[in-house]
Structures are given as C-alpha cells and as structure tokens.
C-alpha cells in the first residue's frame, strides 16, 4: 500500500506562475538555471531576452542549462488585415511535449526527464491564442463561410485543458512551470478576482485547480519586483509548504528558494 512519502509531489513541482505584463515572469526563471536545473522552454511569446540577460549577468556558463524552442504561427497581410497563414505553433508544442525532437535536437520524452529538469510553458496566454488559431479553421462552416464562434472557444479550451491535465498528471515525471498573464474578472457577488489568461473566460477559473503551487510575479511600489507566495485579496495563491514558505520572495532568487523550500 503506497504511503504519502512516495507521492510524486515529493519529487516534482508543478507550478503556475502568474503576473501582469512586464512583471518579470520569464526573467524570474534565471535563478533556477543558475542553481543547475535544466530548463526546457516552449517559447510561445518569443520573449526570452530578459532571461538570457539575467543569466549572463550572474554566470554566462549557465546559459547552457536552457534549451528552448520558439513557436509562433505564421502571419501575412491581407485585404482584411493581418491573418494567420499557417497555424502550426500549438500542434508543434504538443508534439514537443510527447517527444522533444526537432532540427537535430533529441532530448527524448519530457515525461521521463526527472527531478533535475523543468518543462516550461511561456506562456499559457499565447499558447491559448495558438490553440484558437489551430482549431478555428477546423470548425464546420456554412457555404457563406459563417460558423459558430462558440464551437471554436469550446474546442480550443478543451485542447488547452488537455495539455494542463498532461503536464500535471502523475505520469509526467518532470517539474513543470506554466507562465501566464493575469485576467481580472468581476464575479457575480461583486468581488474581482485574478485568474490565468486562457481561451475565453470559462476556462480561466478552472486552471489553478490543476496545480498544487500557484505564485505571482508582481511589481511593488517603487519598482521592486517580487514573487508572492501567500494569497492576496484578488488572487488565490498556494503551495504545499505554506507553513515554512516566506510570503514574499525577491525575484532575483525567488523561484530557486521556492523549489528548495518545497523539496526540503
């Protein structure tokens, strides 16, 4: 009979990291690479510059700890404005989560990478846009080209939720960080809450349920950036070591401390 000491949560950290734009979410990964973790990033944002600079400043050799693949859909101009001419980013990302193999690189199956590797989605926001772009052409259309937009939302939401279910499943034996922007929603009771940005609004409140750890990158008055681990009035945060985790961590070392606290 299994005991809790053998539960995968004692080996692998599955973290949802939220934050407003330019709050330092991607750059906050730097201390993990500096600590020796291998980061494998699906880069849907094409915005790893801050991470590269943060690592270079401390130890350029640690850049070798970061493997990434940038995935963006191809766009072109049209009489109706810019359009997606080739929607391949979402499909390629899903393939990479099954087998990290492309352009001569072959790192095997992410589900077997182990506890010294972190699979990163940066970001869920843009991955959701890619899921929409992939599903939209597949929805049945009338002769006039019209279609039910709700069907696109539903298909894209299901696709994103399936990815999250995979990443946080027991069989995915690798650390995971999913980065997301924050979407503030007015609730029926008059309160306002912050949720991860995804396809539409129905999926957003469901996403945190997949993660035992939810943290917030934020910019405080005066411009100081931190990683918030304790819940705020507007955003529900959590971690499995709340009894010893500091409520606020400096962004320069925050995620490394977060992982270390949970592991210890």
Domain limits at 49? 4-215
DSSP the chain: ---GGGSGGGT--EEEEEE-TTSSTTGGGHHHHHTTPEEEEEESS---HHHHHHHHHH-GGGGGGEEEEE---EEE--TTS-EEEE--HHHHHHHHHH--EETTEE---GGGSEEEEEEEEE-HHHHHHHHHHHHGGGS---TTS---HHHHHHHHHHHHHHHHHHHTSTT--EEEEEEEEEEEEE-TTS-EEEEE-BSBTTSGGGGGGG-SEEEEEEE-TTS-EEEE-S--SS---B-TTTTTS-SEEETTTHHHHHHHHHH-
Quote the pLDDT of residue 144: 75
Quote the pLDDT of residue 186: 84
Give yes or no for residue 35 having a pLDDT over 80.
yes
* pLDDT band (50, 70, 90) for residue 254: very high
Give yes or no for residue 118 having a pLDDT over 80.
yes
Give yes or no for residue 4 having a pLDDT over 70.
no
Q: Is residue 34 part of a domain?
A: yes
* pLDDT band (50, 70, 90) for residue 237: very high
Task: Calculate mean pLDDT across residues 101-123.
Answer: 96
Bridge partners of residue 216, in order along the sequence: 18, 228
> Residue 250 has which token pair?
């400096």
Q: Is residue 189 part of a domain?
A: yes
Instruction: Say which residue, 80 or 2, is predicted with more confidence.
Output: 80
Q: Is residue 205 part of a domain?
A: yes
Quote the pLDDT of residue 5: 60
Give yes or no for residue 19 having a pLDDT over 70.
yes
Of all residues in the chain, the percent with pLDDT exceeding 90 is 76
Q: Is residue 222 part of a domain?
A: no
Q: Residue 80 is part of a domain; what is its CATH number?
A: 3.40.50
* Domain total in the chain: 1
Give yes or no for residue 7 having a pLDDT over 60.
no
Give yes or no for residue 172 having a pLDDT over 60.
yes
Quote the pLDDT of residue 9: 56
């Amino acid at each position: 009979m299994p005991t809790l000491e053998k539960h995968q949560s004692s080996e692998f950290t599955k973290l949802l990291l939220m934050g407003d734009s330019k709050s330092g979410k991607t750059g906050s990964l730097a201390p993990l690479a500096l600590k020796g973790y291998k980061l494998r990033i699906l880069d849907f944002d094409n915005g790893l510059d801050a991470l590269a600079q943060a690592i270079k400043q401390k130890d350029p050799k640690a850049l070798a700890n970061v493997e990434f693949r940038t995935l963006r859909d191809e766009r072109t101009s049209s009489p109706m404005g810019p359009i997606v001419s080739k929607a391949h980013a979402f499909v390629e990302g899903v393939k990479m989560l099954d087998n990290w193999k492309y352009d001569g690189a072959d790192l095997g199956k992410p589900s077997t990478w182990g506890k010294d590797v972190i699979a990163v989605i940066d970001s869920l926001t843009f991955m959701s846009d890619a899921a929409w772009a992939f599903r939209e052409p597949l929805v049945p259309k009338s002769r006039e080209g019209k279609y039910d937009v709700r069907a696109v939302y539903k298909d894209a939401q299901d696709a994103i939720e399936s990815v999250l279910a995979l990443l946080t499943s027991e069989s995915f034996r690798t650390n995971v960080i999913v980065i997301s922007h924050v979407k503030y929603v007015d609730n029926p009771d008059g309160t306002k809450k912050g949720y991860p940005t995804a396809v539409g609004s129905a999926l957003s409140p469901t996403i945190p349920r997949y993660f035992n750890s939810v943290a917030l990158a934020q910019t405080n008055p005066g411009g100081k950036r931190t990683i918030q681990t304790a819940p705020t009035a507007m955003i529900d945060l959590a971690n499995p070591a709340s009894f010893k985790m500091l409520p606020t961590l400096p962004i320069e070392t925050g995620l490394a401390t977060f992982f270390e606290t949970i592991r210890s």
